[in-house]
Structure 1
């Protein structure tokens, strides 16, 4: 092994030790474990000690962590609930996109951004990253509930809407940005084809492949086949412009409809939570720096508050319009606050396409991370205020 590989092993060891201890003490203090893991990235990263950087290897492990986390989320989801609450999820997603695009767009304009940059900042904060919400919902046994199903469904719809908005904005920039115009019709057709493929995989392909795995002369063959399905669907989702996390989630849903759900779940969780998933949360913290913090403090403070409130109130309103109770509205809104990797990816794409100038890029990244760190606290409070959502359903107990 070369020196770079050995150095990465040292960093990996340090991060595993640090995230394990941080998660332990976070639990002891009644804080969601993901907060401790994000703080590890902030303390060890460029923001404070500058010991660890977001290298290609760390980023790769982080990307795998998102995929594995969402795969586990799909494994532990109830497809019947997802179907039942599809309509509320779509309404929640639409209103949850409109609120940040309009309100945060106008607020950005008041800070002297151009109208185009202001609109793009709104689009950045329209994206929900359900990965962190899934982790908190799992931790407090609230994933397999009507609120959990609505949050998951809304996050999928939210992701699609966000990709469409980003495609439109890059198309509007055209040759000015140096980026060839995106054919939105082709993107939409590819995404429709992807979801048709998802239906086929859930209905026929996954059950057939999982039965076939019993005949493979390999240890843990059902888990191997499940991982192949997960990685393939994550790759295909990314290929059509969606988040790979969405493909991994539906791969988990597909495996959950077979007789191999429990076997795969108990096999994949230790692997995911040993290395990959903690590194995803660490990478969120590694993106943070305090460069130019004091000069940009008014913008950061206002946008952080709006980042939380636009999803909390907008998605909560969407839930209310579908007949949810007060505590359920709060829980759905809280579950949609987190931005995480989806907003970071959108910001990076927009920065590369000159939709956002470099002067403000780091400030927007800082706001994304602050909102993402606040989200688990709000979600934990919302879960405790909705006691019916904290009960462990029978299907989860059996897992």
Structure 2
């Protein structure tokens, strides 16, 4: 019964706040994030992130990235592959260096500083996707590059995290971890190779089966099965489930059922699961014990935002983007969201950071995530004005 109460409160609050945010020209996703902060442990304490809400949020981000893949132009993604790789590489290296220096300045040990830098190397593109969709810019040059770079960024973050964990173990543990790292890398390569098979044969075959089923929305059901299946396998090989969901959307977008599936899946996602996901990020926020670390949080947030903005933006500039477009691409990579929170949780459980630092890092992640939609909206508006 508590789940029904929580869902009612979340949907009511996000509906009202989203309406007024849109009315005054603020991305609705900002309102949803702030709802989580206000009604969660940070302020009113009406909601906490229960296991049930976490499950709804997980489905929400999977559906969101599936829709992003569904509405993406595969030819544009291929065309902007090189810029995406450059954006991802510099968008990882510069934040790693910048955040590591922050750790050293605040006298964290080497392992903790390295781990924090890995946390802020990650990008959560789901929030950027929502802003780009609101602005009808998902298939723009900037939007396509952001989507492509986010996938590469995710793979790089997983590899760096695996290397870090393997190098902080004992001699025996390091050997085992190195073997696991090699195996994981091979599994991920096989996974990406298998995506071609899914796009070329499996997705069209599943859609054909769905169209022949004597049940309502057969094609949509088969598309959801493919989405959840690819998300699950992505997690098995050490990738984020959103990577699998995104490529499942790409696969379905190449079939005749694209419009039908898109028409059916959006109401399900946006009416229930996606708002819960955005609220869940705000629910992670807590002000307990943060008073003495406000300086650390402020510096970490500023460096996290600027290093990603400048690093990813520099990658776009090297790829031939204009100054305004480079800023927009950088802004689209600033959001850390669930990817950074997941990596932080892994490190906390592995005792790679203290409890007090963990709370401060979560606060910095959420602050950077809250700033990201404003930056992206502002920079994309500049791109449009420059083009006029």
Q: What is the TM-score normalised by the length of structure 2?
A: 0.97
Q: In the aligned structure 1, how far is the partner of 2:6 from the partner of 2:354?
A: 32
Give deviations 1:91-126, integer Å, cap 9, x for gaps.
110000001100110111100101111111111000
Does residue 9 of the first structure (1) align with residue 18 of the second (2)? no
Indicate if the aligned counterparts of 1:383 and 1:390 stay in contact, CA closer than 8 A.
no
| Displacement after TM superposition at 1:39 (Å) | 0.7
Indicate if the aligned counterparts of 2:334 and 2:368 stay in contact, CA closer than 8 A.
yes
Where 1:48 maps in the other structure, the secondary structure is: coil
Does residue 247 of the first structure (1) align with residue 251 of the second (2)? no
Indicate if the aligned counterparts of 2:142 and 2:329 stay in contact, CA closer than 8 A.
yes
Give deviations 1:240-281, integer Å, cap 9, x for gaps.
111100100000000000111110001000000011000010
Indicate if the aligned counterparts of 1:140 and 1:390 stay in contact, CA closer than 8 A.
no
| Displacement after TM superposition at 1:209 (Å) | 1.1
Indicate if the aligned counterparts of 2:289 and 2:356 stay in contact, CA closer than 8 A.
no
Indicate if the aligned counterparts of 2:124 and 2:333 stay in contact, CA closer than 8 A.
yes
Of 157, 164, 169, 1:169 maps to: 164
Does residue 181 of the first structure (1) align with residue 177 of the second (2)? yes
Indicate if the aligned counterparts of 1:93 and 1:158 stay in contact, CA closer than 8 A.
yes
Q: Name whichever of 126-135 and 176-185 sits farther off.
A: 176-185
Give deviations 1:208-248, integer Å, cap 9, x for gaps.
11112111111000100000000000001111111100100
| Displacement after TM superposition at 1:314 (Å) | 0.5
* Residues 190, 389 of structure 1: alpha-carbon distance in 2 compared, 3 angstrom cutoff: farther
| Displacement after TM superposition at 1:74 (Å) | 0.3
1:28-67, aligned counterparts within 5 Å?
A: 28-67=23-62
Partner of 2:317: 320
| Displacement after TM superposition at 1:359 (Å) | 2.1
Partner of 2:128: 133
Of 349, 353, 358, 2:350 maps to: 353
For structure 2, the 5+ residue unaligned runs are none
Does residue 201 of the first structure (1) align with residue 198 of the second (2)? yes
Indicate if the aligned counterparts of 1:142 and 1:389 stay in contact, CA closer than 8 A.
no
How many pairs were matched up?
Answer: 386
Does residue 236 of the first structure (1) align with residue 251 of the second (2)? no
| Displacement after TM superposition at 1:10 (Å) | 1.1
| Displacement after TM superposition at 1:22 (Å) | 1.0
Partner of 1:261: 258
Partner of 2:361: 364
Q: In the aligned structure 1, how far is the partner of 2:104 from the partner of 2:149?
A: 28
Indicate if the aligned counterparts of 1:175 and 1:181 stay in contact, CA closer than 8 A.
no
Q: What is the TM-score normalised by the length of structure 1?
A: 0.94
Indicate if the aligned counterparts of 2:166 and 2:173 stay in contact, CA closer than 8 A.
no
Give deviations 1:279-326, integer Å, cap 9, x for gaps.
010000000001122210110111111111011110000000011011
Where 2:168 maps in the other structure, the secondary structure is: helix
Q: In the aligned structure 2, how far is the partner of 1:336 from the partner of 1:353?
A: 27
Partner of 1:283: 280
Does residue 217 of the first structure (1) align with residue 214 of the second (2)? yes
1:60-209, aligned counterparts within 5 Å?
A: 60-175=55-170, 181=177, 183-209=180-206
For structure 1, the 5+ residue unaligned runs are 1-5, 392-399
Partner of 2:372: 375
Q: Name whichever of 242-251 and 170-179 sits farther off.
A: 170-179
Partner of 1:300: 297
| Displacement after TM superposition at 1:365 (Å) | 0.4
Indicate if the aligned counterparts of 1:317 and 1:329 stay in contact, CA closer than 8 A.
yes
Q: In the aligned structure 2, how far is the partner of 1:279 from the partner of 1:390?
A: 36
Partner of 2:338: 341
Indicate if the aligned counterparts of 2:290 and 2:359 stay in contact, CA closer than 8 A.
no
Partner of 1:396: none
* Residues 93, 282 of structure 1: alpha-carbon distance in 2 compared, 3 angstrom cutoff: same
Alpha-carbon RMSD across the aligned residues, in angstroms, is 1.6
Q: In the aligned structure 1, how far is the partner of 2:127 from the partner of 2:172?
A: 33
Q: In the aligned structure 1, how far is the partner of 2:303 from the partner of 2:236?
A: 32
Indicate if the aligned counterparts of 2:142 and 2:328 stay in contact, CA closer than 8 A.
yes
| Displacement after TM superposition at 1:175 (Å) | 4.3
Q: In the aligned structure 1, how far is the partner of 2:109 from the partner of 2:333?
A: 27
